[in-house]
Chain A
Amino acid sequence: MSHGLNLAYTGLEVRRTLKKAVTLFFCFAMPIGFYLAFGAAFGDQPAGTGNVDAVILALMGLYGSCMTTTTAAIGVAMERPLGWNRQLRLTPLRPWAYVATKLVAGLVAAFCAVLVLYVVGVIRHAAEMPGAVWALTFVLAWLGGLTFSGIGLFIAMLCRGDTATAVAVPVLMICAVLSGCFQLPLSGAFFDTAQRIVPMGGPVRLIMARFGPDALVADGWDWANTIGWIVLGLAAAIWAFARDTQRQ
């Protein structure tokens, strides 16, 4: 009997999330496509200890990871109208474990999304960075997705069905633009401040800083942004979850 996380259920959710993420343009196809397009255009310019191709690879990994954790989280909103959580409440699985399963499945699927992108990067053979930076940017891109595990779950618990997607995807897109994840030629005080504040801004800067002081110098604020949004997102999700269960 499992009250908490269940291996079979988590495995099933990883499979479902991956299937959704692969069919959804945003999680796998778009980051790979952007990497190939932008990398070919500006890739050979130097960036600290690596080149721009490597920076775009890592940032697109972060973007794909965030999209995948969001996709998994949105499942909560999609399944409620189907009566799936009601069905699960007729089993020993606790409601919190259902939500935790979505979070874990999102992280595992996000790992796969970053992995596939990095394999494309290795095959393309244009990204240049030291071995340690390959590893560090991979981990940062992957775990940066946690930011949107919490935010995604929060949105999924407030909105039903497709509304959750309609809210979450634009939120993520705006964050991706303002955080500098797309490396768009945006500059000025507004964008500098926005990058420091929005979710994803912290992970973007932490990834870029791995390329050395010539690329960017990260500070405590970038860690605060990253950890802060993860904690805030999860706390908001827990609050919405508690509010939801109290209604019964």
Chain B
Amino acid sequence: MAAVTPPAIQLEHVTKTFGSVHAVRGVDLTINVGEVVAVLGPNGAGKTTTLDMVLGLSQPTAGTVTIAGASPRAAVDAGHVAAITQTGGLLNDITAADHVRLIAALFGVGRARADAVIQVTGLGDFGKRRVQSLSGGEKQRVKFAMALVSDPSLLILDEPTTGMDVGARRDFWRDIHAQAAEGRTVVFATHYLEEADEFADRVVLIDHGQVIADGTTAEIRSLVAGRVVTADLDSAEAAQAAATALGALGRATVQGPQISVQCRDSDAVVKQLFATTAAHDVLVTAQGLEEAFLALTGAAADGSEVKP
């Protein structure tokens, strides 16, 4: 009989409040072993707060968090989970190699392991330099090496490419993908839609402390892949009437005599516009990913949930 593998991460009804601020409001989330998951959301959505609870850096106000069936603290102690944070987490006055060796000593895995990680992560080139003199990309590489020391099965990355240039960003993700290919579960927070789209198998969209969409990248894409139809009408009243009539086909907004409809079937919208109104200067554009993202997070502000 095959043993049931517990999920890499399980959050059950997790909430976190800071005084009167509800940072996380009832998140249920299961991430299975080997998944590469992007936690996507605007700044202040509750991404970091959620990941901090996964890492045991803070305690949920209510609900439970388990990592491979154990508590976050136990998982950290055992080296099963490691993290790369957005900024900081390094001492300026010691070398890159010192950092890696220190983490190895704290986990009790020995200097040989530290040196192997330094080798694998390409820290050799600047390992003897003090962190102070390293670039943003090099610093993230040091943290990447520190995260690998304990050979974790789960890697948590909190907006890891903030402040990196394009080249460093590409190299960083190439390395992370190599780690995922070895079977490590990777969960990363980002507010770059492209990053989620390009590097994750699954996207969890978070806004206002809630999960508002959860699916494969393809599902999320289909959810947000839409078009925008804009048209001019003769008067604001006519535009308003058209918006009401088109409500069934998409999200219609009116600005003066201009109507704009976010929709999936732009043909149907255009047909109806020409059939029932005096619309002119009709324009159909593909909805950008950013706009779709804004549309989704905007929808969540109304309290509705979008299901793929």
- CB-CB nearest in chain B for A92: B77
- Interface check A93, CB cutoff 8 A: yes
Most interface-central of A12, A79, A88 (chain B CB within 10 A): A12
Quote the shortest CB–CB distance from A188 to chain B (angstroms): 45
Interface contact B107-A19, CB-CB below 8 Å:
no
- Interface check A135, CB cutoff 8 A: no
Interface contact A9-B57, CB-CB below 8 Å:
no
Q: Per a CB cutoff under 8 Å, which of B88, B101, B107, B108 touches A86?
A: B88
- Interface check A220, CB cutoff 8 A: no
Interface contact A90-B82, CB-CB below 8 Å:
yes
Chain B interface size range: 20 to 34
Interface contact A84-B106, CB-CB below 8 Å:
no
Q: Per a CB cutoff under 8 Å, which of A8, A83, A248 touches B101?
A: A8
Q: Per a CB cutoff under 8 Å, which of B59, B82, B83, B89 touches A84?
A: B89
Quote the shortest CB–CB distance from A132 to chain B (angstroms): 40
A81→B88 CA distance, assembly (Å): 8
Given contact pairs A1-B77, A82-B91, A9 touches B107 in the complex (Cβ within 8 A):
no
- CB-CB nearest in chain A for B149: A91
Interface contact B87-A8, CB-CB below 8 Å:
no
Given contact pairs A2-B108, A87-B90, A8 touches B76 in the complex (Cβ within 8 A):
no
Interface contact B88-A6, CB-CB below 8 Å:
no
- Interface check B103, CB cutoff 8 A: yes
- Interface check B98, CB cutoff 8 A: yes
- Interface check B245, CB cutoff 8 A: no
Contacts of A92 in B (CB 8 A): 76-77, 106-108
Contacts of B92 in A (CB 8 A): 82
A82→B77 CA distance, assembly (Å): 22
Q: Per a CB cutoff under 8 Å, which of A2, A3, A6, A87 touches B89?
A: A87
Quote the shortest CB–CB distance from B279 to chain A (angstroms): 55
Contacts of B76 in A (CB 8 A): 89-92
- Interface check A160, CB cutoff 8 A: no
Quote the shortest CB–CB distance from B73 to chain A (angstroms): 9
- Interface check B286, CB cutoff 8 A: no
Tally of contact residues, A, Cβ under 8 A: 24
A50→B49 CA distance, assembly (Å): 63
Interface contact A12-B102, CB-CB below 8 Å:
yes
- Interface check B93, CB cutoff 8 A: yes
Given contact pairs A2-B108, A9-B102, A19 touches B93 in the complex (Cβ within 8 A):
yes
- Contact flags A1-41 to B (C-beta < 8 A → 1, else 0): 11100111100100010010000000000000000000000
- CB-CB nearest in chain A for B83: A90
- Contact flags B61-95 to A (C-beta < 8 A → 1, else 0): 00000000000000011000111010111111110
Q: Per a CB cutoff under 8 Å, which of A16, A81, A90 touches B94?
A: A16
Interface contact A84-B91, CB-CB below 8 Å:
yes
A84→B103 CA distance, assembly (Å): 12
Q: Per a CB cutoff under 8 Å, which of B59, B93, B102, B108 touches A1?
A: B108
Contacts of A89 in B (CB 8 A): 56-57, 76
Contacts of B98 in A (CB 8 A): 12
- CB-CB nearest in chain A for B111: A8
Quote the shortest CB–CB distance from B90 to chain A (angstroms): 7
- Interface check B105, CB cutoff 8 A: yes
Q: Per a CB cutoff under 8 Å, which of A3, A9, A87, A248 touches B85?
A: A87
Given contact pairs A2-B108, A90-B82, A92-B76, A83 touches B89 in the complex (Cβ within 8 A):
yes
- Interface check B14, CB cutoff 8 A: no
- CB-CB nearest in chain A for B106: A91
A88→B107 CA distance, assembly (Å): 11
Known A6-B105, A91-B107, A92-B77; 12 more pairs at CB < 8 Å: A2-B108, A12-B94, A79-B91, A83-B85, A83-B87, A84-B90, A86-B57, A86-B88, A88-B106, A90-B57, A90-B83, A248-B59
Which 4 pairs show the lowest CB-CB distances between chains A and B? Answer: A83-B88, A8-B105, A87-B89, A91-B106
